[in-house]
Amino acid sequence: MKLKSIFTNSFGILFSRITGLFRDVLMASALGASIYSDMFFVAFKLPNLFRRIFAEGAFTQAFMPSFVASRHKGVFATAIFLRFLLFIVLGTLVINLFPEVATKLMAIGWSEEMVREAAPLTAINFWYLDLIFIVTFLATLLQYKEHFATTALSTALLNLSMIGALLLYMHQDPKKIAYAVSIAVLVGGALQVVAHLITLHYKRLHRILIGGWKYRKKKDIKAEEKEFTRLFIPAIWGNSTAQINAFIDTWLASFLAAGSISYLFYANRVFQLPLALFAIATATALFPSISKALKNKQEKEAYSNLSKAFWLLAFLLGLATVGGIVLAEPVVWLLFERGNFTEHSTQETVGVLMMYMIGLLPFGLAKLFSLFLYASHRQADAARIATYSLIANIIASLSLMKPFGAQGLALAGSIGGWVLFIFTVRAVGAEKFWEMVKTRKSLYFLLSIVGFAILLHYVNIVLVGYIRG
């Protein structure tokens, strides 16, 4: 297991997440949990929905194994890049022609007036998808060479751009703030592209694209493109389910009390920190090496890396879960309760965060185990498992939203995470999983969780007393 790559990736993600949290602190102070914050989050969610489905998730998981196996890497990469970029640009133009329709789909419970107010924000934010696809494509080439720092750190450029806009317009009209932050999203995306182009040139990977363009008509890659398409189509669905869950949460939350969309957003931002810092960083760092190992029939090495990464994540995510649940109120208070973000907003967000944290461990471990499915070209199996998770989440959301509100939606997501984890482990090999857990490490894991929970319980008593005293 390449700890250097994991820690490098984690550091980059940590820096990006810290700037992201600072961005959200300013956002909460400027807009609170209000109708204008809801409008921006809905507008920003749409390009992020497609970004995670097409640009980051499905594309990377289908492109990396295909790129590793390709005999004409430059030609193959260039052909796939041009095809996707054309498709995404056309999609962005359609959204800009009909922004009200797109906004209504994201927040069907809103009035026509609210949809009209938010539609221009949707049109502006959607251009971020085009920029982030270019970033994702370049990042995948860098990952092939096992360089992760640029991609991990570059998200901070987006956050810094938005922070700058918030600082400049903090005391302006809320509507003007929402527009300023939306434009800052595009500025941040452009900076991310520039950062990746510079690194690509420094690593001399630009030669791959130049050669691919030069010899694009001389190399036959039809079979490779066909194999990529075969992997990409189920990968789209496999990655769509998580984003569909997020879409459903936003859609259902629009029927709840005002601010519910914002409670989900702020709580999810805290939840995403340990998930990205530990699980996503580890999975991203291991994916290229596991893809290469499985291609070269080195399964023993691949499973050895999986076992080491499993226990690293189990301890880190387990402790983070306990910390997130026990210290939910101090964390939300420290990060967000200022300006227009009131004590009531804190209490609502705390409840949502606790429900999200129940799903941290299964989501993180499922991310790790799914590497084997994608690296071994089993995208169809991953898509089937993701469907089970989606169905569980929808049923739980419809059942829990009425009695528990936004907290019920967050709990439904965690239930879906456990379903995802269980079926992913079964697909990869339940016997391999039991070999990992039938060790003394399981006892150490349980003791550390219990001891940490007891310690944090007393810490929480002191902190809450200080906050509300």
**Residue 49 pLDDT greater than 70, yes or no:** no
Note the pLDDT of residue 57: 62
Note the pLDDT of residue 350: 92
Q: What are 290's two structure tokens?
A: 């596991």
**Model confidence band, residue 442 (pLDDT cutoffs 50, 70, 90):** confident
Q: What is the pLDDT of residues 56-68, one digit of tens each?
A: 566 777 777 777 7
CA distance 75 to 194: 23
Residues 306, 310, 316, 321, CA torsion sign: positive
Q: What is the pLDDT of residues 184-223, one digit of tens each?
A: 999 999 999 999 999 988 888 877 777 767 766 666 677 8
**Which amino acid, residue 26?**
L
**Residue 1 pLDDT greater than 60, yes or no:** no
Is-contact 192 154, C-beta < 8 A?
A: yes
- Considering 37-51, 98-112, 223-237, 373-387, the range whose residues carry the highest mean pLDDT is 373-387
Neighbours of 219 (CB within 10 A): 17
**Residue 364 pLDDT greater than 70, yes or no:** yes
Q: How many CA atoms lie within 13 A of 290 on its CB side?
A: 25
Average the pLDDT over 281-307 and give the result. Answer: 76
Note the pLDDT of residue 422: 95
pTM of the predicted protein model: 0.72
Is-contact 400 409, C-beta < 8 A?
A: yes
